């Protein structure tokens, strides 16, 4: 339900050649069975009324996936989008860049379109594994909140974007890589 459609996005190959990739809602058959996350199991546990899995593909190969959830207030008003899972292929298998930033852009644009955060509240939240803290803090430039337990025996770090931070990220992404183009597969 909470999706902004299909987009063609600008990426660069390893040789720094500009190319296009596709961001779109994933299908069950898109779920890989040899990645870090158990995507087939995640698919079966996803409540698609409030959650989505989006894929990043390049020349027919799926190079990244993001799963997010939209939370509703007591009045059934969407107020927060939480990134639940984000994964891309290992660096040695990446054919293009950026993958994670475009997946985050999609989720953040979805949050900006559908969610009305509480006053001065978070629009986007995510809990990062320890290895990715520097990525979200220094590269994505999310606001650091603090340590959290993300699984029994596994600590992580909570991050958020307010509306202003979310807009800043999207602006940085599109000024660096160009505006994504919404596409309709019937017309290309």
Comparing CA positions, the residue from 122, 94, 114, 100 lying closest to residue 54 is 100
DSSP 123: S
Residues of the chain by 3-state class (helix, strand, coil), percent to 5: 30, 40, 35
**Dihedral (Cα; 134, 143, 139, 38), 10-degree rounding:** 60
pLDDT of residue 151: 85
Please tell me the total number of residues recorded for the chain in this structure: 188
Domain ranges of the chain: 7-121+162-182
Domain 7-121+162-182 has CATH 3.40.30: no
Distance CA 68, CA 4 (A): 13
Low-confidence stretches of the chain (pLDDT beneath 50): 187-188
DSSP 120: T
Distance CA 163, CA 117 (A): 8
Q: Check if the beta carbon of residue 34 is closer than 8 Å to that of residue 90.
A: no
pLDDT of residue 187: 46
Quick one: 142 exposed, middle or buried, by C-beta within 10 A (0-12, 13-18, 19+)?
A: buried
pLDDT of residue 184: 75
CA-CA-CA-CA torsion sign (164, 170, 175, 180): negative
pLDDT of residue 185: 60
DSSP-based three-state secondary structure for 29:
helix
């Amino acid at each position: 339900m909470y999706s902004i459609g299909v987009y063609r996005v600008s990426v660069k190959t390893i040789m720094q050649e500009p190319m296009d990739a596709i961001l779109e809602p994933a299908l069950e058959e898109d779920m890989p069975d040899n990645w870090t996350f158990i995507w087939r199991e995640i698919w079966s546990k996803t409540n698609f009324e409030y959650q989505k899995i989006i894929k990043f593909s390049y020349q027919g190969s799926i190079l990244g996936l993001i799963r997010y959830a939209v939370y509703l207030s007591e009045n059934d008003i969407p107020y927060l989008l939480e990134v639940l899972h984000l994964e891309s292929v290992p660096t040695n298998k990446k054919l293009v860049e950026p993958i994670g930033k475009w997946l985050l852009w999609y989720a953040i644009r979805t949050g900006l379109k559908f969610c009305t955060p509480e006053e001065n509240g978070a629009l986007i939240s995510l809990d990062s594994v320890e290895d990715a803290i520097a990525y979200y803090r220094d590269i994505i430039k999310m606001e650091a909140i603090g340590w959290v337990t993300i699984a029994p025996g596994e600590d992580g770090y909570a991050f958020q974007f307010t509306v202003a931070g979310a807009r800043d990220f999207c602006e940085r992404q599109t000024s660096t890589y160009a505006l994504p183009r919404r596409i309709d597969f019937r017309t290309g």
